[in-house]
Amino acid sequence: MQLDFSILVKSFPYLLAGAWMTVKITSLSVAVGIIIGTIGGLMRVSKNPILFWLSTIYVEVIRGTPLLVQIFIVYFGLPSIGIRLTPYLSAVAALGINSGAYVSEIVRGGIQSISKGQMEAARSLGMSYGQAMRYVVLPQAMVRILPPLGNEFIALLKDSSLVSTIAIAELTRVGQQIITRTFQSFEIWIGVALFYFVMTFIMSRIVRFLESRLAIND
C-alpha cells in the first residue's frame, strides 16, 4: 500500500475548521470549568460542613466516572427528564462540568498553599472573610494555580475529541469524515495528531509566558 500525504494538503481547510471548533468548545468549557471550579474550590476550604461535603461529593463523582459517560448522560440522558440540549451545548456542558471538578482541586490547593497568616492579617485589618479571600488570598493563589490551569486546558483540549461521539464537527470528527471519503486513514490521523500537537504546543508556550510574567510582577 502506497501512502499519499498529498491528501493532507487537500484536507487542510477542513481539518483547520475542525481544529477551530475544538478550540472554541475547549475555551468555553474551560471558562465554565473555571467558574464552577472557583466556586467549588472555595466550598472545599469552607468551614461550613454542608458546602464542604457538597463540593466533595461533586468532585469525587465527576473524577470517579469516565468523561465519555458524562457526555452521554448530558446528551442522551437529560432528554428523558425533559431537558434537551443541542450537541454543541451538550459538549460544552459536559466538558465544563468535568473540568470544574479538576479546577476545584486546583483552586483548593492554591488557596491552601497561601500562608494562614495572610488571612489572619487581612481579618485583623477589618476585612470580612470574603474580602480577605477576594483581595488578599486569591490574587496570590492565582500565581500558583496558573500552571495547573494551563495543564487542565491542554488536557481538556485533547479530551474534547470524545465529543465526536455526539456528532460535533470538531477535529477528530472531521478526520473521521474525511477518512470515510478517502479511505486514507493513516495519513489523515497523522494530520489530526499534528493539529493537536500544534495546538497544545502553542498553549503550553502561552502558559509558560504568562507564568514568567506573573513571576516578574510578583
Range of weakest confidence among 2-11, 41-50, 191-200: 2-11
pLDDT at 154 > cutoff 60? yes
pLDDT tens column, 90-124: 999 999 999 999 999 999 988 888 888 887 788 88
pLDDT at 211 > cutoff 80? no
* DSSP string for the chain: ----THHHHHHHHHHHHHHHHHHHHHHHHHHHHHHHHHHHHHHHT-S-HHHHHHHHHHHHHHHTS-HHHHHHIIIIIGGGGT----HHHHHHHHHHHHHHHHHHHHHHHHHHTS-HHHHHHHHHTT--HHHHIIIIIHHHHHHHHHHHHHHHHHHHHHHGGGGGGGT--SHHHHHHHHHHHH--HHHHHHHHHHHHHHHHHHHHHHHHHHHHHHHHH-
Q: What pLDDT, on the 0 to 100 scale, is given for residue 217?
A: 58
Domain spans of the chain, in order of start: 6-217
* 6-217 belongs to CATH 1.10.10.10: no
pLDDT tens column, 166-183: 988 899 999 999 999 988
Q: What pLDDT, on the 0 to 100 scale, is given for residue 23?
A: 94
pLDDT tens column, 53-81: 999 999 999 999 999 999 999 999 999 99
Tell me what the mean pLDDT of segment 11-30 comes to.
94
Q: What pLDDT, on the 0 to 100 scale, is given for residue 1?
A: 54
Q: What is the pTM of this model?
A: 0.88
